[in-house]
Structure 1
Amino acid sequence: MKNPNTRRTRRPLALVALASAAVFALAACTSGSDSAKTSESSTKLPATEAPATVTVPDTTVGKQITWLLDVVNTSTPLNQEEIAGHFGPGAPIVLVPSDFDSIRAGQPWTTVDYTGGDTDGTVSITSATGGSIDMNVVVDGSGLILGMAITPTPTPHIPAASWQELETAVKALPAPTNLTVTEVTGGKNAEVFSVGDTSAQPTGSTIKLYVLGAVATAVKNGTLSWDQKLTVTDDLKSMPGGTMQDLPAGTEVTVRETAGKMISISDNTATDMLIAALGSEQVEAEFVAMGMADPSLNIPFKPTRALFQLGWGDEGAQRIAWRDGTPDERRTILAALPTGLVDIPPTAFTTPAWPFDIDWFATPADLRAALVSLQAMAKTESGAPVRDILAEDPALSAESAQWFTYGGFKGGSSIGVLAGAWYLEHDDRAWVVTMQTHGEDAALVADPTLYFDPADDAMLLIRKDVTG
Structure 2
Amino acid sequence: MMNDAAGSVPSAAEAALAADDSPMGAAARWAVELLTAPGLATEDALAGRFVPSFPFGLGGGFTQRLREWREKGPFTVEAYEPVAHKGWVTLGGGGTRHLLSLTLDSSGLLRLLTFQPETVVPEVGSWDEVEDLLRTAGVEHSVLAARLDPAGPVVLHESAADLPMPTGSVYKLFLLRALLVAIDEGRVSWDDEVTLTPELRSLPTGDMQELADGTRVSVRETTHKMIVLSDNTAADLVTDLLGRDEVERALGPAGHHDPSLMRPFLTSHEVFELGWGDPERRAEWARRDEAGRRALLAEVAGPIEVGIGDLGETVHQLGLDWHMDAHDVLRALDGLRQDSERDSTGVVEEILTAYPGIPVDRDRWSRVYFKAGSSPGVMTFCWLVQDRAGDAWAVVLRQAAAEQKLIGDGVFLRGVGRRIIESGLLAAGPGGPGSSAGSPAR
Give the TM-score, by structure 2 length.
0.84
Matched, 1:194 2:158: yes
Matched, 1:318 2:274: no
Matched, 1:409 2:409: no
User: How far apart are residue 286 of structure 1 and its match?
Assistant: 0.9
Paired residue type of 1:337: V
Distance (whole Å) between structure 2 residues aligned to residue 206 and residue 383 of structure 1 = 24
Residue equivalent to 2:348: 386
Matches within 5 A, 1:93-242: 93-94=56-57, 95-116=61-82, 119-127=85-93, 129=94, 131-140=96-105, 143-155=108-120, 157-171=121-135, 175-196=139-160, 198-242=162-206
Residue equivalent to 2:402: 440
Choose the corresponding residue for 2:224, options 231, 255, 260. Answer: 260
Relative to 1, partners in 2 of residues 1:385 and 1:244: Cα closer, same or farther, differing over 3 Å?
Answer: same
User: How far apart are residue 216 of structure 1 and its match?
Assistant: 0.7
Paired residues of 2:166 and 2:322 also in contact (CA < 8 A) = yes
User: How far apart are residue 140 of structure 1 and its match?
Assistant: 4.3
Relative to 1, partners in 2 of residues 1:379 and 1:142: Cα closer, same or farther, differing over 3 Å?
Answer: closer
Count of matched residue positions in the alignment of Structure 1 and Structure 2? 415
Q: For each residue in 1:399-425, what CA deviation from the matched residue of structure 2 results, as whole angstroms up to 9, or x when unmatched?
A: 4x4423222222211111111222222
Q: Which moved more, 1:345-354 or 1:168-177?
A: 168-177
What SS does the aligned partner of 1:235 have? Answer: helix
Relative to 1, partners in 2 of residues 1:345 and 1:292: Cα closer, same or farther, differing over 3 Å?
Answer: closer
User: How far apart are residue 311 of structure 1 and its match?
Assistant: 1.0
Q: For each residue in 1:134-165, what CA deviation from the matched residue of structure 2 results, as whole angstroms up to 9, or x when unmatched?
A: 2213344565443322101233x332112333
Distance (whole Å) between structure 2 residues aligned to residue 96 and residue 424 of structure 1 = 39
User: How far apart are residue 195 of structure 1 and its match?
Assistant: 1.8
Give 4+ residue runs of structure 1 displaced > 6 Å after superposition: none
Residue equivalent to 1:339: 302
Q: For each residue in 1:334-362, what CA deviation from the matched residue of structure 2 results, as whole angstroms up to 9, or x when unmatched?
A: 1221423x342333222111011100000
Matches within 5 A, 1:281-430: 281-314=245-278, 316-340=279-303, 342-381=304-343, 385-399=347-361, 401-426=362-387, 427-430=389-392
Paired residues of 1:377 and 1:383 also in contact (CA < 8 A) = no
Unaligned runs of 5+ in 1: 1-47
User: How far apart are residue 185 of structure 1 and its match?
Assistant: 1.2
Q: Which moved more, 1:74-83 or 1:273-282?
A: 74-83
Paired residues of 2:79 and 2:89 also in contact (CA < 8 A) = yes
What SS does the aligned partner of 1:250 have? Answer: coil
Residue equivalent to 2:5: none
Q: For each residue in 1:271-321, what CA deviation from the matched residue of structure 2 results, as whole angstroms up to 9, or x when unmatched?
A: 11111110011110111112311111111111111111111124x443211
Paired residue type of 1:124: T
Unaligned runs of 5+ in 2: 1-7, 433-442
Paired residue type of 1:104: R
User: How far apart are residue 114 of structure 1 and its match?
Assistant: 2.4
Residue equivalent to 2:435: none
Relative to 1, partners in 2 of residues 1:107 and 1:445: Cα closer, same or farther, differing over 3 Å?
Answer: closer
Q: Which moved more, 1:292-301 or 1:316-325?
A: 316-325
Paired residue type of 2:101: N
Root mean square deviation of aligned Cα: 2.8
Paired residue type of 2:410: P
What SS does the aligned partner of 1:335 have? Answer: helix
Q: Which moved more, 1:384-393 or 1:176-185?
A: 384-393
User: How far apart are residue 93 of structure 1 and its match?
Assistant: 1.9
Distance (whole Å) between structure 2 residues aligned to residue 108 and residue 165 of structure 1 = 35
Paired residues of 1:219 and 1:383 also in contact (CA < 8 A) = no
Paired residues of 1:214 and 1:286 also in contact (CA < 8 A) = yes
Paired residues of 1:403 and 1:463 also in contact (CA < 8 A) = no
Paired residue type of 2:309: T
Q: For each residue in 1:223-281, what CA deviation from the matched residue of structure 2 results, as whole angstroms up to 9, or x when unmatched?
A: 10122122222322211111222222333222122112111111111111111110011
Q: Which moved more, 1:266-275 or 1:86-95?
A: 86-95
Paired residue type of 1:330: R
Residue equivalent to 1:40: none
Paired residues of 1:313 and 1:344 also in contact (CA < 8 A) = yes
User: How far apart are residue 395 of structure 1 and its match?
Assistant: 2.4
Paired residue type of 2:415: D
User: How far apart are residue 62 of structure 1 and its match?
Assistant: 4.7
Relative to 1, partners in 2 of residues 1:351 and 1:88: Cα closer, same or farther, differing over 3 Å?
Answer: same
